[in-house]
Structure 1
Amino acid sequence: MTDFLSETRTAYDTVAAGYAETLRGRLAGSPWDRAMLDAFAELVGPAGPVGDLGCGPGRITGYLAARGLDVFGVDLSPGMVEVARREHPGLVFEVGSLLGLGQADASLAGALVWYSIIHTPPARQPEVFAELARVLVPGGRVLLAFQVGDEVRRIERGYGHEGLSLVAYRLRPESVEQWAVAAGFTVESRMVRAPEPPSERTPQAYVVVRKGLGSSSARQ
């Protein structure tokens, strides 16, 4: 496994239970998050399965399921998947990577990528977007959320644990959109909002992209 994938998996395995507890109920106090997720759910509708890719403990997967989507979760961390399965026993969760998803070509109507591209080095991001394009049907949509900036952060503590080793990349919306367009997507929407203290320190971005209706489903 690529070093950054192994590092990310180990870190999230370590913090899985604390992460789930810390973020439990946070959506109730995040109207912007709910608004974007609700818009995504309405845009995708009942057209087919939706992947919550980088689902963590499944909190957003459960939210989308409650809004009628046929949604499942994928996460790099087996520890996170274990927590998700325990907390949402009626939903499907599996271990997987954004760089090599287990889904068939053109099998998803939509994908949620909620703060899950932030640990991938920029040089590898085109591979992520090519994989998203592969698994989506023509016209399928992706909602991405991420922290805005140029900073590269080394995270060594969090969610009740010390001694972590995890890199997180702040990203510019323009860069994310360029990666998406290069993979055959069009940009439908971008919103950047101010951080909400005390948990956020940087602006937060939401970008919706749509796979072209004439795009091939074959692996790029």
Structure 2
Amino acid sequence: MADKRVKRRKEARPAEILDAALAEFEEHGFAKATPAGIARRAGIGRATIYLYFDGKDAVFEALLRQRLIAPLEEIGADMPTADESAERMLRRVFGIFYEEVVGSRTAVLMRILIAEGHRFPSIVELYHRQITETGYGLLRRIVDRGIARGEFRPDIAELDLRVLVGPAMMTVLWQIVFGALDPIDPKRMMADHIKLVMDGIRMRSPQPLC
């Protein structure tokens, strides 16, 4: 029984370290956050962190994967066999971003990228790589699926996909800069964002001739 408890603790340790790291980054930013501070919050020795992560950059990358990339990968993994509409998949992608980034403590990762990215280009590069390969790759597959199924207009095939996520990125920036003065309701913004996008890309019914 004791061995099983120890095994469960070891399996839970990476998630506990990441939770502690998020709190450390939230309070100190990236530059001043330390492995020692993360370890103290997690209730472990500093050396234990290095059993799971190579360093602070690796912890930051793991947080991005846990909070944003992994949920997107789940949608992508479901696509080959799912009978779900492309519109529904697109709504799920937007939901992940607004719930996991805009409307949660995970927004601190975006704040770090904006405020400290010029000092730590490695974390900007890893975010760009992750979001380009996974996020935009998934959006492209969803758009292609929607066109093939007759849900989306065929003329959006060459659309710059950054147009689709522009309002979400603006929301993050607004919350970071003006959130204390004029906060945005993430649920309301997500609903308006989805409506704006779908009104632009959804296949329209033919209009009767006058």
Q: Normalised by the shorter chain, which TM-score bucket?
A: under 0.3
Structure with more of its chain in strand, by fraction? 1
* Bigger CA radius of gyration: 2
More helix by share: 2
TM-score (normalised: structure 2): 0.26
